[in-house]
């Protein structure tokens, strides 16, 4: 007897550990990114993992079970709640799965996917939490008068949240500097009579490219300006560039490469989100794009001309590339690569509030010039353009060279 008990216990232990899912994957970190109407939870994993996701009510919570997962020291403390997540709780089910419970502030929809490694991250388990209503919160566009509406300019700060964009040699992140420039640009635009700017993101969170376009459309934007900072291996390269969508696709290898990189925000490790109808959508969009493309070209030329006054312009012509974010069929759109964050001097300048203001002022001036030369009928700017010299109206531009 005295001999047998430990033997039985040992056999049981052995069989139990054999029956349990073997420890297969480490959870290295749990990160939360809160936006105004969505929150993303990201688990950094050492490898692929099986998981299940449940959305429960009374109280509203999301339960994530990950098979064979172990929390490493970096992930053992539950992160603080943020956005619509009130609290994060960590536990283990009797069956061995790691359980993560997200206590929610309100009813939500949730979806999850496993993202394969890319050059920035390893395996990630991503949970996107959104409001149960449509993501597009209806926004009333205020008109000054029914017969003279304000122009709406959508200002889009590239990247955000877990997508830092390009990173400079000294650690400057594109997502931070472009948000600063975008905010400054929006202030300048909104300070002008007859114009109102709306930001597609106003914080450090991820907004899918299609949502950026949807937000612009929900606001009935007259123009979409996406603000970025470029990066290239050759650190000597500097200067700004302005892109519009190309109809026939990227014309040269460099812009194709760039387009792939900028579009990669929506492709987390090669997993395209909600874009199964992408090919069909692109075909339909391309057909209706001609009119806004020519407007985009004219507007982009104005912006490029003004950027030329601030510093070196990389290429004197407006460039064309297949940026997803420029694909609104009905809104003239441009993407401004304000500078090369990979160039050490430009990296320093991009961090400087003074230089950020100069870049914003240049883009603003270009936008202003475009609309005063081509005012949409029925806008206050059309009235102002008829009565005033274009440049005299402007009070906020940084350059006085006029």
Residue with Cβ nearer Zn ion (175 or 302):
175
Question: x-or-dash pattern for Zn ion, window 114-153, by CB under 5 A?
Answer: ----------------------------------------
Q: What is the nearest approach in angstroms of Zn ion to the Cβ of residue 262?
A: 5
DSSP state of 40: E
Backbone angles phi, psi at 3, to 5 degrees: -85, -35
Q: What is the nearest approach in angstroms of Zn ion to the Cβ of residue 304?
A: 17
Residue with Cβ nearer Zn ion (263 or 282):
263
C-alpha span between 357 and 397 (Å, rounded): 9
Q: What is the nearest approach in angstroms of Zn ion to the Cβ of residue 228?
A: 3
Residue with Cβ nearer Zn ion (165 or 168):
165
Q: What is the nearest approach in angstroms of Zn ion to the Cβ of residue 165?
A: 4
Residue with Cβ nearer Zn ion (263 or 308):
263
SS3 label, residue 339: strand
Q: What is the nearest approach in angstroms of Zn ion to the Cβ of residue 175?
A: 8
Count Cα atoms within 13 angstroms, Cβ side, for 29: 9
Residue with Cβ nearer Zn ion (149 or 228):
228
What is the token pair recorded at 95? 């069956």
- From the list 402, 307, 300, 317, the residue with the least C-alpha distance to 360 is 307
- From the list 367, 363, 258, the residue with the least C-alpha distance to 320 is 258
C-alpha span between 250 and 244 (Å, rounded): 10
Q: What is the nearest approach in angstroms of Zn ion to the Cβ of residue 164?
A: 10
Please count the other Cβ atoms lying within 10 Å of the Cβ belonging to residue 139.
11
Judge residue 401's burial from the number of C-beta atoms within 10 Å of its C-beta, 0-12 exposed, 13-18 middle, 19 or more buried: exposed
Question: x-or-dash pattern for Zn ion, window 217-246, by CB under 5 A?
Answer: -----------x------------------
| Nearest residue to Zn ion on Cβ basis | 228
C-alpha span between 291 and 288 (Å, rounded): 7
Judge residue 42's burial from the number of C-beta atoms within 10 Å of its C-beta, 0-12 exposed, 13-18 middle, 19 or more buried: buried
CB 56 within 8 A of CB 64: no
Q: What is the nearest approach in angstroms of Zn ion to the Cβ of residue 391?
A: 31
Q: What is the nearest approach in angstroms of Zn ion to the Cβ of residue 26?
A: 31
Residue with Cβ nearer Zn ion (39 or 226):
226
Residue with Cβ nearer Zn ion (340 or 371):
340
Q: What is the nearest approach in angstroms of Zn ion to the Cβ of residue 234?
A: 18
SS3 label, residue 132: coil
Q: Note the helical H segments in 99-208.
A: 174-190
CA 92 to chain centre: 34
Count Cα atoms within 13 angstroms, Cβ side, for 371: 31
Residue 355 as a binder of Zn ion (CB under 5 A): the answer is no
Q: What is the nearest approach in angstroms of Zn ion to the Cβ of residue 337?
A: 7
DSSP state of 324: G
SS3 label, residue 273: coil
Residue with Cβ nearer Zn ion (35 or 165):
165
Using CB under 5 A, count the residues that bind Zn ion: 3
Residue with Cβ nearer Zn ion (158 or 160):
158
Residue with Cβ nearer Zn ion (85 or 209):
209
Q: What is the DSSP string of 79-109?
A: PPP-TTEEEEEEEE-TTS-EEEEEEESS-EE
Residue with Cβ nearer Zn ion (112 or 202):
202
Q: What is the nearest approach in angstroms of Zn ion to the Cβ of residue 341?
A: 9
Question: x-or-dash pattern for Zn ion, window 155-174, by CB under 5 A?
Answer: ---x------x---------
- From the list 335, 173, 324, 181, the residue with the least C-alpha distance to 260 is 324
Residues that bind Zn ion (CB under 5 A): 158, 165, 228
């Amino acid at each position: 007897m005295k001999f047998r008990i430990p033997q039985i216990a040992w056999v049981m232990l052995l069989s139990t550990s054999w029956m349990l899912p073997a420890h297969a994957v480490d959870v290295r970190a749990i990160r939360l990114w809160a936006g105004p109407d969505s929150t993303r939870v990201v688990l950094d994993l050492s490898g692929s993992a099986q998981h299940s996701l449940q959305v429960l009510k009374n109280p509203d919570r999301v339960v994530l079970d990950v098979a064979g997962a172990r929390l490493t020291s970096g992930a053992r403390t539950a992160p603080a709640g943020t956005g619509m997540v009130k609290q994060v709780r960590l536990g283990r089910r009797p069956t061995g799965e790691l359980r993560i419970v997200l206590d929610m502030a309100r009813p939500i929809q949730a979806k999850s996917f496993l993202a394969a490694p890319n050059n920035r991250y390893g395996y990630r388990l991503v949970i996107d939490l959104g409001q149960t209503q449509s993501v597009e919160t209806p926004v009333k566009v205020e008109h000054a008068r029914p017969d003279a509406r304000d122009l709406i300019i959508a200002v889009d700060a590239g990247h955000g949240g877990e997508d830092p964009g390009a990173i400079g040699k000294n650690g400057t992140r594109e997502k931070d500097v472009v948000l600063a420039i975008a905010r400054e640009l929006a202030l300048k635009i909104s300070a002008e009579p007859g114009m109102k700017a709306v930001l597609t993101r106003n914080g450090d969170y991820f907004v899918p490219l299609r949502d950026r376009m949807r937000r612009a459309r929900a606001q009935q934007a007259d123009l979409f300006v996406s603000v970025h900072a470029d990066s290239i291996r050759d650190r000597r390269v500097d200067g700004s560039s302005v892109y519009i969508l190309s109809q026939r696709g990227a014309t040269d290898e460099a812009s194709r490469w760039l387009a792939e990189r900028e579009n990669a925000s929506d492709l987390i490790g090669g997993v395209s989100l909600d874009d199964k109808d992408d090919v069909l959508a692109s075909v339909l969009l391309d057909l209706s794009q001609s009119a806004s493309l020519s407007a985009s070209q004219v507007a982009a030329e104005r912006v490029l001309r003004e950027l030329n006054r601030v510093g070196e312009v990389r290429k004197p012509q407006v460039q064309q590339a297949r940026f997803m974010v420029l694909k609104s069929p009905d809104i003239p759109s441009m993407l401004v690569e304000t500078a090369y964050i990979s160039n050490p001097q430009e990296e320093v300048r991009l961090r400087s509030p003074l230089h950020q203001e100069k870049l914003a002022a240049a883009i603003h001036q270009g936008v202003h010039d475009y609309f005063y030369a081509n005012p949409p009928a029925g806008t206050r700017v059309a009235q102002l353009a008829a009565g005033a010299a274009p440049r005299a109206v402007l009070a906020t531009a940084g350059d006085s060279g006029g």
